[in-house]
Structure 1
Amino acid sequence: MTVSTTTSLPAVLMGRTAASFPRPDGEDHYTIGEVAEMTGLSAHTLRWYERIGLLPDIDRSHHGRRRFRNPDLARIRFITNLRLTGMPVADMIRYAELVRAGDHTAAARAEMLTAHRDAVRAQIARLGEAVAVLDFKIDNYRGACAPECGA
């Protein structure tokens, strides 16, 4: 993927360009129900993410209802990717704290994400080995039942 100067980095990281959000910036107010539907996360999970500090500063209407914006959607996508890779919630909270602390924590954030990425790559390698064992067993069983299996 090529990063152009017109594409914001968070959008690139999330695999989305600004134009691919459901609404353009400035008109990007989403209810918690809309965000839940778009992300596949429950409203309860979104509230919990806000409560524990993973989604800080969610805008509120004058009635107190949450109004999510495009940057919030990008942040949710990033959180979802971290969860998918198995990052513990405590580590995600620590990462969010570093982000809020400012640019001077960039090295610590990079170190944290690098360590997690390396752990994910090691797990992928272990899973690849496990799949190879499964393939070996499947091939053996298919060979043993060749007449019945149609192999």
Structure 2
Amino acid sequence: MLIAEVSGKFNLSQDTLRYYERVGLIPRVNRNKSGIRDYTEEDCRWVEFIKCMRGIGLPVEILIEYVGLYQQGDETVGARKELLIEQRRQLAARMEEMKKVLERMDDKIARYEQTILEKEKTLNRAQD
């Protein structure tokens, strides 16, 4: 699959895909006879994984560490698991904080809605 196709499939710019490859987030992508990147299904799985992890806010440095551990083989399974557990813990904490912020926003919106209703009632009584 050519870089333009992968870019479209995952809604990532070609520059982002090149960056991911350059910093080691995805393995070196093979090139066709013309020198154009030719992504395999395995490459695409890496792109999908990295996009997912970046989407939840994992830093590039953590992902580089994870990929490096993966490339070292099965002896790093425990370290990879611990890295993901820690990142999951941090994500859960951020989600809890976001839940509190969402509740606060909902309360504020409800107060605005109540204020608007009260003004409308006052305006309607004044017009009667």
Fold match by TM threshold 0.5: yes
Q: 1:144 aligns with which of 99, 102, 115?
A: 115
Which residue does the alignment assign to 2:69?
98
Provide closer, same or farther for how the CA distance between residues 135 and 96 of structure 1 changes in structure 2, counting only shifts above 3 A.
same
Partners of 2:27 and 2:43 within 8 A in 1: no
Bigger radius of gyration = 2
1:133 aligned to 2:104?
yes
Aligned counterpart, 2:9? 38
Aligned length: 121
**Structure (1/2) with the larger helix percentage:** 2
Q: Give how far 1:57 is off.
A: 2.9
Q: Deviation of residue 63 (structure 1)?
A: 2.3
Percent same amino acid among aligned pairs? 33
Contact 1:58 1:68 in 2 (8 A): yes
- Contact (CA 8 Å) 1:142, 1:149: kept in 2 or not? no
- State the secondary structure of the residue aligned to 1:61: coil
Most deviating of 53-62 and 87-96: 53-62
> In the aligned structure 1, how far is the partner of 2:42 from the partner of 2:120?
53
Q: CA RMSD in A?
A: 1.4
1:31–1:68 Cα contact (<8 Å) kept:
yes
Counterpart position of 1:57:
28
Q: How many Å apart are 1:62 and its aligned residue? A: 2.2
* Residue aligning to 2:58: 87
If the length of structure 1 is used for normalisation, what is the TM-score?
0.76
Q: CA deviation at 1:72?
A: 1.2
Extract structure 1 runs of 4+ deviating beyond 2 A.
147-150
Partners of 1:39 and 1:112 lie apart in 2 by 25
Structure 1: segments with no counterpart, 5+ residues: 1-29
Deviation of 1:85 after TM superposition, in Å, equals: 1.1
With normalisation by structure 2, the TM-score equals: 0.89
Which residue does 1:74 correspond to in 2?
45
Shift of 1:118: 1.0
